């Protein structure tokens, strides 16, 4: 398994906009995703690739390069460019088979950490094998393309089953919790708050951001609330006394104690579980 620290609020930046790279790096995002795919027009792919090669090594954040999907005209050139960089990870869009991840190592002859974006019904159907791919560290939900593929609304209820499957299958495969897809509404902060909280409650480990102003909201959603932290401390305090107690009407038994420990652990790391 390759070494990788899971980000909570990674921020997308178009690869064709190098003037934004260092601004994103200076933001509160815990990773910067330099995008060669959807955010870059076909005519600008070469220029974006060159910009990433020129600037990526100067960024202090965790750098993830989203390459173009397998089978496109740009995929191999993207991989050849990334292969010239050090200390970067790869985000693979439109992942549908484990071979898509394996081909990265075959092309580069290196073990880059890979985040696979699940963006289609085929990708979700093949999720168990994708999660077993070598060098894969986690998956991310491409909710916009997924809803387009299914012909369903890009809303919570139609996508609930897919989101839940990403979470529990990631856990079963002993992978990091997945990243939720983007929220495109930049005008109403309540939409982002609700979307991020929904993802955190389902068990996602973080959420993709497309604007710096979304980062604080995402991080807050995945951080244990003060109420949860107080509950966890009270629960562990009761458990240490050796008494069989109820906390807020809940029997304090082993799973409850473990959950309390997890909340306090996540509070130090900025994650959420409750």
Q: pLDDT at position 155, please?
A: 96
What would the mean pLDDT of 177-199 be, rounded to a whole number? Answer: 97
Q: pLDDT at position 269, please?
A: 64
Predicted TM-score (pTM) of this structure: 0.89
Q: What CATH number should be reported for the domain holding residue 93? A: 3.20.20.60
Mean pLDDT score across all residues of the chain: 93
Give the three-class secondary structure for 140. Answer: strand
Quick one: 255 and 189 in the same domain? no
Residue 145, annotated as binding a ligand: yes
As a whole number of angstroms, the distance between CA 92 and CA 66 comes to 6
- Domain range holding 42? 10-222
- Tally of domains within the chain: 2
- Domain membership flag for residue 90: yes
Would you give the distance in Å from CA 48 to the centre of its chain?
23
As a whole number of angstroms, the distance between CA 180 and CA 201 comes to 12
Q: pLDDT at position 241, please?
A: 66
- Domain membership flag for residue 1: no
Quick one: 217 and 230 in the same domain? no
What would the mean pLDDT of 28-57 be, rounded to a whole number? Answer: 97
Residue 66, annotated as binding a ligand: yes
- Domain membership flag for residue 4: no
- Percentage of the residues of the chain whose pLDDT score is greater than 90: 79
């Amino acid at each position: 398994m390759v070494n990788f620290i899971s980000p909570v609020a990674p921020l997308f930046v178009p690869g064709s906009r190098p003037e934004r790279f260092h601004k994103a790096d200076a933001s509160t995002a815990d990773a910067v995703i330099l995008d060669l795919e959807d955010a870059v027009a076909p005519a600008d792919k070469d220029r974006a690739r060159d910009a990433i090669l020129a600037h990526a090594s100067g960024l202090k954040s965790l750098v993830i390069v989203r390459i173009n999907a397998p089978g496109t005209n740009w995929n191999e050139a993207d991989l050849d460019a990334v292969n010239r960089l050090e200390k970067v990870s790869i985000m693979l869009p439109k992942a549908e088979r484990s071979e898509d991840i394996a081909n990265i190592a075959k092309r580069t002859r290196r073990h880059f950490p890979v985040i696979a974006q699940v963006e289609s019904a085929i990708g979700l159907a093949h999720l168990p094998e994708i999660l077993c791919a070598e060098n894969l560290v986690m998956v991310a939900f491409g909710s916009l393309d997924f809803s387009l593929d299914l012909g369903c609304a890009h809303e919570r209820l139609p996508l609930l089953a897919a989101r839940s499957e990403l979470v529990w299958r990631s856990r079963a495969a002993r992978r990091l919790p997945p990243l939720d897809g983007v929220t495109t509404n930049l005008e109403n902060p309540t939409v982002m708050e609700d979307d991020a909280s929904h993802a955190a409650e389902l068990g996602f480990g973080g959420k993709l951001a497309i604007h710096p102003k979304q980062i604080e909201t995402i991080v807050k959603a995945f951080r244990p609330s003060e109420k949860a932290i107080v509950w966890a401390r009270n629960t562990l305090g009761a458990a240490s006394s050796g008494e069989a107690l109820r906390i807020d009407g809940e029997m304090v038994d082993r799973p409850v104690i473990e959950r309390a420990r997890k909340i306090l652990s996540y509070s130090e790391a900025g994650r959420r579980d409750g």
